[in-house]
Structure 1
Amino acid sequence: MGDLILNVDLAAPERRPKKERGNRKHQSFVRRRRELERRGVLRQKQLPPNRGGPRRTPAKPPPSCPKENGSAGTGVPSNTKGKGRGAAGGTPESTGAPSALQNGRAKTKGRGRGAVAGAPPAPTKLLAMDCEMVGTGPGGRTSALARCSIVSYDGDVVYDRYVRPEAPIVDYRTRWSGIRRQHMDKAVPFHQAQRQVLRILAGKVVVGHAIHNDFKALRYSHPKALTRDTARIPLLNRRGGFPENVAVSLKRLTKALLNQDIQVGTSGHSSVEDARATMELYKVVEEEWEQHLRQNPEQE
């Protein structure tokens, strides 16, 4: 039998390129989509499920640079310049309409006070108030507001008005209040004065002596954290040589610490003079007292 010769080609057969499915429009769409996937433009929910491999994670866009009110990366408005101390001053017979400084929107350079959390209040945020009362009701025993005076940090008059009580005045208490019958001729009604005063005090740190009596006459309750009562600051008593737990009169504190005489004579008190004296007393212990309040906020 003759030899059988087999001619076997062991080389792998050449594979034909796999034709892409679909028409040209679909092929163009697929290529475009793959390019967008490669660049990370498509969001995750837009990506089709990737069979046989992990899903492509789109690249995160670079963080934007915050630019708010001209401050890069801080978010703090750049308009922080003010007019320094005493800029909240006004004139007597002020209508009480809040200005840019009175409503607390204006900022102040000063010494940088109030620029950071926990710092002492800025001068434009500080006001001192004093009220004078007359007697109404049976025997004139009910105290009613008859004058309200507000001064700025530098002692400029922001508001000073005589106020007509709702009830008839029985006792003018002139010896102490300084109020007389003729003062009621141009006095403003109580509710009008109340609205004007509350607009001025809104958002301000209010300094006063036994100021709870003044707020009571205004039928108003100011936030405790924004109230500074010089009758309840032990540092003042200590500086004046008085026991810390004793309520000392404004007249005695002013004489001991400022060497000034107020509430003299028989013509009665001046609420403007008393408000200015109260602010000056607060300044004596301002830094130390504000630091104490920051460390003991429950005592505000």
Structure 2
Amino acid sequence: MSGLMLNIICDPSQGGKSDKSKGNYKHERFLGRRRFLERKGFLKDKLINKQNEKNNKRKRKKQRHTQSNGEYQSKPAAIFPQFTTTLPDKTNEPSCSTQTLCQKPTSSVSSTGCTSQGKQTHSVAPGTVGPLKYLAMDCEMVGTGPKGSISELARCSIVSYNGDVIYDKFIKPINIVTDFRTRWSGIRKQDLRNATPFNQAQKEIVKIMTGKVVVGHAIQNDFKALKYFHPACQTRDTSRIPLLNQKAGLPQHEVVSLKRLTKALFNKDIQTGKGGHSSVEDAKATMELYKVVEEEWERTLVFKSVC
């Protein structure tokens, strides 16, 4: 037993694989699987995405380098506002100092994107129409519902810049009239017997006003009765023009009646007698009041960005 010797040989090349051999085997196995997946097309999209990411990184790096040198490039397909000056054509349009241009969308009757235009140059949205005409509107309302508490349209009058009557009709309210308010409206029962139905009159009036600058006194009440909202940039409310009050010698921010303003500026009496108001007379008076401050008022609107 004492002469027994053990001779153990640890040669990596014999009796097993070393760590290095195992690593090479795993790598070869990985490459084999990768080649198999490439042949099947599973790695095609992944390689394309990876290549696209590399290309995008190069582009961003190039853009940063360009901007660092002070060379800024605009984005492709960027839309910039056009700058246009339009002077009123006094041969075809009312003799006013300024006009309004407004973009007219195809999906809506009223337009909201609008910029006042006058003697000074300022930006205009693309796709604008030509100089617009000025109109003055006045409406008379009657009462419906309990004790005539609901105001509904019963007459509408529209005049041109020069005071010519464009539209003047009695309008039959949707609901039964419970108070004709004749003392103020001038409407009587017989006036509404053959009156134009509200829905028809509404379409006619909106068609006339579309694309026009509409002047009125406390005109929001008229639009409410008409169930219509005209673009603010195309609306001129003579009850809210401080310049007009100033010229009349009245407090600038006070809401003054049409009758009082007309008397103070023109020494003219309107809305007299017990027969009620005349919407034609009121519309003409409103347009005359607007003309008093037209040039100054339109100039201030240019800098106020109405719409």
Taking only the aligned residue pairs, the percentage that are identical comes to 61
Task: Pick the aligned partner of 1:83 from 92, 105, 129.
Answer: 92
Long gaps (5+) in structure 2: 1-83, 96-108, 110-116, 124-129
Contact 1:146–1:179 (8 Å) recurs in 2: yes
1:1-300 counterparts in 2 under 5 A?
A: 82-85=91-94, 125-298=133-306
1-structure distance, mates of 2:207, 2:118? 21
Residue 85 of structure 1 contacts residue 123 of structure 1 at CA under 8 Å; is this kept in 2? no
| In structure 1, C-alpha distance between the alignment counterparts of 2:207 and 2:156, rounded to whole Å | 14
Q: 1:240 to 1:116 in 2, by over 3 A?
A: closer
Structure 1 ranges of 4+ moved more than 3 A: 113-119
| Counterpart code for 2:200 | Q
1:115 deviates by 8.0
Q: Secondary structure at the match of 2:283?
A: helix
1:78-135 CA-partner distances (Å, limit 9, x unpaired): xx7853438xxxxxxxxxxxxxxxx9xxxxxxxxx8587559xx99610000000000
- SS of residue paired to 2:166: strand
8 Å CA contact 2:169, 2:195 repeated in 1: yes
Q: 1:236 to 1:83 in 2, by over 3 A?
A: same
Closer, same or farther in 2 for the Cα pair 1:246/1:115, shift >3 Å?
closer
Partners of 1:226 and 1:266 in 2: CA distance: 34
Structure 2 counterpart SS, 1:243: coil
CA deviations on 1:22-81 (whole Å, 9 max, x unpaired) are: xxxxxxxxxxxxxxxxxxxxxxxxxxxxxxxxxxxxxxxxxxxxxxxxxxxxx99xxx78
Unaligned residue ranges in structure 1 (runs of 5+): 1-74, 87-102, 104-112
Paired AA for residue 92 in structure 2: K
Amino acid at match of 2:192: M
Task: Report SS of the residue matched to 2:154.
Answer: strand
Aligned partner letter, 2:190: Q
Q: Which amino acid in the other structure matches residue 94 of structure 2?
A: R
Length-normalised TM-score, structure 1: 0.61
Q: Pick closer, same or farther for the CA change 1:289–1:141 going to 2, 3 Å.
A: same
Deviations 1:215-239 (A, max 9, x none): 0000000000000000000001111
CA-CA distance at 1:186 after TM superposition: 2.1
1:154, 1:81 → 2: CA distance? 13
SS, match of residue 92 in structure 2: coil
Judge conservation of contact 1:123–1:153 (CA < 8 Å) in 2: no
**Count of residues in Structure 1 that have an aligned counterpart in Structure 2:** 195
Secondary structure class of the residue paired with 1:285:
helix
Q: Decide which structure has greater helix share.
A: 2
